Amino acid sequence: MSVYKRPESSRYVIEIRWQGLPRLKLSTGSSSKKLAEAMQRTLHGLKDAGRLDVLRLLAEGKLRLADVHEDYVRNPAALQHRLAAVASPTLGPLLDQWFAWLDDPATLSSKTRRAYAPKTTQRYKVSWTRVVALLPRGREATLADMTKGFLADFRSQRRREGAGGATVNRDLCAVGAFLTWCEQEQEIDVRRPAVPRERESAGRERWLDAAELKQLEAAIPRAWWPLFATLVYTGLRVGEAQGLCWSDVRLSDQVITVHDRSRRLKTSASARVVPIAVPLARLLAEHRTRYPGGPADPVFPHPFGSYQLAQRVFQRACRQAGLDDIRIHDLRHTFGVHCAQAGIPIVRIQRLLGHSTPVMALRYMKHAPENYFAADAARVAASLSGAADREAGAQAELARQGFKQG
C-alpha cells in the first residue's frame, strides 16, 4: 500500500492490494499529500464497512476516487445515489424491451386489465422520441438520468415549442408509464421524480355545422367517407370505428355493437349499442359491396384501419375544404353537439357516446337551443301550480270511463 506521485505528474496516486479484491491504483486528482492520505483512509473505511461494491466500481474505473471521498465524508446518502446512477441500466435497450412488451397482445394494463390500444402504444413511442432527443446522451443515457431537473427542463422545452398543457402531460404520462413498468415488471429500483403537471384547458369546443359537414364530405375521397361518416353519425371514437368487424354491424336492425373485447376501447363504459341512421346505413351497405368481408373481417380494412393514414387523409380534406382547426376527434364532438341541439336528454347522450359519467356529456348541453326553454318552463310552471296533476287526473278519469264503456 502506498501513496506516491507519478514522475510525469504532480498528482498523487494511491495503490492498494487486498486479498480477494482487484488491485486498486487510483488517481487522487490532487497534488495535496494530506488530501491523498485522507482518501486512503476513506478506502480503508469502505473496506472495513464491507463496501466491496464501491471498491470494485473504483477498480473498474466507473467511479472517481475524489467523488467517492467527498460523498463518504460529507454526505453518505449521496454515495448511494452515485452508485445507483452507475448501476443504472441504459435507456435505449430498456425502451426497446418496453415497446415490445406493450405491443404484445398478451400484455394487460395493470390499471384497466385490458390489452394496450395501438393508439396508446404509438403515443408512448412518440413521446419517448421527444424525451430521448433532449437527453444529452440520447439512447445511451441511463435510467438515473431521468431526474426531476431533466423532466422540468423537458417540460419547459416542450412549452417553448408551442405544445399545450394536455400534450406536455401526455408526454410526462408516457415517462410515468415506463417507470412503472421498470418497477413492476423489471423489478428495478426506480427513483421516481415528482414533477408537477401542466394546467390543461377546459377542452376543445370545435364542432361542425351542417354546411361544414357538406364541405368536408365533398373534399374527402369517396372510399374514405364511410369511415368518417360513421364517426359523424354515431359519435364513435376513431379507434372504436376502426376496430369494428362486420358481425358488429347489423344493417337490418340498424345498430352497431361496440364490444369490450376490442383492444381499441377507452373504458369498459365504451361497450354499447348505437343506432345507425338511414344515411349511414346506405353508406355502409355500399361500402360492404365495394369491400366485401365475412363476419370476422374488419369493416374498415387497410388502409382505412390505419389511424396515421386516416389522419393524413382527414387533414388534407380539411385544408381543401377551407376548414380551420379541425381534428378527427371533433367529429365525435359534432355528434354530441347535434344530439344536444336535437333535444336528446343528457343521460341518453352519455350512453350513445359511451361516457363513464353524465358529467362528461354535460359539455354538449350548453349547445341546446333556447327554443326548448319555453316548453320546459311551461312544464315546470304546470307542475308548480298543480295543473300537471289535474291534467294527469283528468287523463286517468278519461281512461277509466273508456274502460267502463268497453
Q: Which of 230, 333, 223 is nearest to 277 (CA)?
A: 230
- Confidence bin at 56 (pLDDT 50/70/90): confident
β-bridge mates for residue 273, sequence order: 257
Q: Looking at 68, 87, 106, which one is the last position of a domain?
A: 87
Q: Which of 228, 234, 226, 238 is nearest to 286 (CA)?
A: 226
Check residue 128 and give its pLDDT.
95
Domain count along the chain: 4
At which residue does the C-alpha cell 389511424 appear?
307
Is the domain of 218 the same as that of 327?
Answer: yes
Name the residue range of residue 400's domain: 380-405
User: What's the CATH number where 314 sits?
Assistant: 1.10.443.10
What number of H helices and E strands is found in the chain? Answer: 17, 6
Burial class (CB within 10 angstroms; exposed 0-12, middle 13-18, buried 19+) of 234: buried
Is the domain of 268 the same as that of 160?
Answer: no
Least confident of 36-40, 89-93, 272-276, 358-362: 358-362
Is the domain of 137 the same as that of 158?
Answer: yes
Is the domain of 245 the same as that of 268?
Answer: yes
Which range of 81-90, 283-292, 390-399 scores highest in mean pLDDT? It is 283-292
What distance separates the 2 farthest-apart alpha carbons in the chain? 126
Could you tell me if residue 374 is inside a domain?
no
Could you tell me if residue 8 is inside a domain?
yes
Could you tell me if residue 204 is inside a domain?
no
Axis-axis angle for helices 330-341, 346-353 (nearest 10): 150
β-bridge mates for residue 3, sequence order: 14
Check residue 358 and give its pLDDT.
82
At which residue does the C-alpha cell 376548414 appear?
323
The three cell numbers of residue 35 are 488530501
Could you tell me if residue 375 is inside a domain?
no
* pLDDT tens profile 168-222: 999 999 999 999 998 888 877 777 888 788 776 656 678 999 999 999 999 999 9
* pLDDT tens profile 101-115: 999 988 877 776 678
CB 42 within 8 A of CB 52: no
Choose between 293 and 379: higher pLDDT. Answer: 293
Per-residue pLDDT at 284 exceeds 90: yes
- Confidence bin at 329 (pLDDT 50/70/90): very high
Check residue 19 and give its pLDDT.
80
Q: Looking at 41, 63, 87, which one is the last position of a domain?
A: 87
The mean pLDDT of the chain is 85
The three cell numbers of residue 325 are 382547426
Could you tell me if residue 102 is inside a domain?
yes
At which residue does the C-alpha cell 347522450 appear?
349
What distance in Å separates the CA atoms of residue 344 and residue 342, rounded to the nearest whole number?
6
Is the domain of 15 the same as that of 82?
Answer: yes
Could you tell me if residue 198 is inside a domain?
no
Is the domain of 322 the same as that of 241?
Answer: yes
Could you tell me if residue 197 is inside a domain?
no
Check residue 84 and give its pLDDT.
67
Residue 255: which H helix or E strand, with range? strand 255-258
Could you tell me if residue 202 is inside a domain?
no
Which SS3 state, helix, strand or coil, does residue 63 take? coil
